[in-house]
Amino acid sequence: MTTLTRRTILKGAAATALLPAMLRANPGETLLRAGAANVQLVEAEYPATQVWGFNDSVPGPTIRAPQGAQTLLRLRNDLDQATAVHWHGLRIDNAMDGVPGMTQDAVPRGGEFLYDLTLRDAGTYWYHSHNRSMEQVARGLYGVMVVDEPEAPEVDRDLTVVLEDWRLTSEAQVSDDFDNMHDLSHAGRMGNFIQAVIDPAPTEFAPNERLRLRLINVATDRIMPVSLRGVEGWIVARDGMPLRTPEPLEMVVLGPAERVDLIVDVTAETGGEVLVVFHQRDTGYVLNEYPVTGPGTESRRPMLQPLPPNPIANLTSTDDARKVPLLMQGGAMGGLQEGRYKGKTLSMRELVAEGQLWTLNGEAGLPETPLIEVSRGETVVLSMGNDTAFPHAMHMHGTHFQEVLEDGTFGPHKDTVLVNPGEARDFAFVADNPGKWLIHCHMLSHQTAGMKTWFRVT
């Protein structure tokens, strides 16, 4: 049994922007200005929090465009350090992927970069800094990207729900202990202020309202188990990609960077409430609560159809696939003895001295040579094995993969997947997008401390 508490972990309101969210750059372009800003992140009795945000807000402005559109986004960097923006989950040109040192140079202070994106897939995506990302994402450099289906299912409201985990000091400032060895070697940087920022912010709901909720876990490291009270419905998409068969909604567990799209009906009656609940051990913390008021509509609507599929291949076989092991090792209690780093074999002690604590296939940090070279059209099976004491949110750039299930069928298209200690699971994809693509743990503390590699498609 879960006990519900009314207290949020540190009670708070949504972050509010001080300046208008969307600034215009050149005609046809949207400006994303990375810079420091002050936002009232927690309650008014606390000081404003200095964050790093896009256009002075956290989350940054929601970018919304129709499927198939070309979108021009101009990054301007007003931070004191270099940055770059990655479009998480979007299948786009490699040159626009936003990975410094691999697909572009990091944009220095005062610099600009024009991202030219063609939006092949509809769904819920997000963008975030991919330079010094553990710190830059923890400080607020992220936002939502929604790509609309030409024929979206009919709902009364379409809301984004950004799940955030901040580590704040008692003065409500972002704690700057980014080199905390315990975080880097264990489950990562855990915050003390968890909130769900819902946009547009509701004040109340009506009985039988139909909602589309787009949940996104933007935490650097925290896995978020979340449930909703006062509504019933379905999970209709994961990581932006429509599910062929919507799943009945129960608890949702999202690793860092994972998303789900929900379509739910308000089943609470007038006088009741809708709650967003974060679960930790046996306690449910109410993050948001809204009254249900008014007559609403009289009855629930019929079950919905699945979302229209995106133009991504569905795997049918891996008979001719290239099998590639991807073994996760290291971290506290992992027993790793040595690993390769920058071409040399180092003892665990030497690795730690380099800030490297995790390896993929025995290698820490970004290797000079790719994990694999594949030709366009080839099917690849990544055999992921987690030989560490912690879960990892494994993320691949450039395309989505599908889990190869025991019975030979394939799971939903995903771009990030939680792999628990001791698990060995296969994920297959068709390499259809030329370029250099990263594979890394999206627990950004782990990524910082070595857990990353890359592959090339030619």
Binding footprint of ligand C2O on the chain (CB under 6 A): 86, 88, 128, 130, 257, 395, 397, 438, 440, 442
Choose from Cu ion, ligand C2O, none: what does 392 bind? Cβ within 5-8 Å by kind: Cu ion
- 443 touches, from ligand C2O, Cu ion, none (C-beta below 5 to 8 Å by class): Cu ion
Residue 278 C-beta: closest distance to ligand C2O, Å:
21
Phi, psi of 243 (to 5 degrees): -85, 140
Rounded to whole angstroms, the Cα distance separating 135 from 130 reads 10
CB of 186 to Cu ion, least distance (A): 10
Instruction: State the number of CA atoms in the 13 A half-sphere of 344 facing the CB.
Output: 7
Q: Which is nearer to Cu ion, 75 or 360 (CB)?
A: 360
Which of Cu ion, ligand C2O, none sits in contact with 438, Cβ below 5 to 8 A by type? ligand C2O
Shortest CB 132 distance to ligand C2O, Å: 13
Indicate which of ligand C2O, Cu ion, none lies near residue 446 (CB less than 5 to 8 Å, by partner kind): Cu ion
Please give the Cα distance from 306 to 189 (Å, whole number).
Answer: 37
Q: How far is the CB of 48 from ligand C2O (least distance, A)?
A: 27
Q: How far apart are CA 15 and CA 197, in angstroms?
A: 8
Burial class (CB in 10 A: 0-12, 13-18, 19+), 28: exposed
Residue 443 binds Cu ion, judged by CB under 5 A: yes
Binding partner of 395, given Cu ion, ligand C2O, none, CB within 5-8 angstroms per partner class: ligand C2O
Strands 344-347 and 338-341, sheet pairing: antiparallel
- DSSP, collapsed to helix, strand or coil, labels residue 140 as coil
- What phi-psi label fits residue 365: left (phi over 0), alpha (psi between -120 and 50 degrees) or beta? left
Which is closer to ligand C2O, CB of 106 or CB of 438? 438
Of the candidates 53, 446, 450, 453, which one interacts with Cu ion according to CB under 5 A? 446
- Eight-class DSSP state of 155: -
Q: Least distance from C-beta 333 to Cu ion, angstroms? A: 14
Q: What token pair was written down for 274?
A: 């809708």
169: Cβ–Cβ under 8 A, 6 or more apart, which residues?
175
Longest CA–CA separation in the chain, Å: 69
* Residue 392 in the binding site for Cu ion (CB under 5 A): yes
User: Judged by CB under 5 A, how many residues of this single chain contact Cu ion?
Assistant: 4
Question: What tokens were used for 422?
Answer: 């001791």
Binding partner of residue 33 among Cu ion, ligand C2O, none, CB under 5 to 8 Å per kind? none
| CB 244 to Cu ion: min, Å | 29
Note whether 161 binds Cu ion by CB under 5 A: no
Residues at the site binding Cu ion, with contacts judged by CB under 5 A: 392, 441, 443, 446
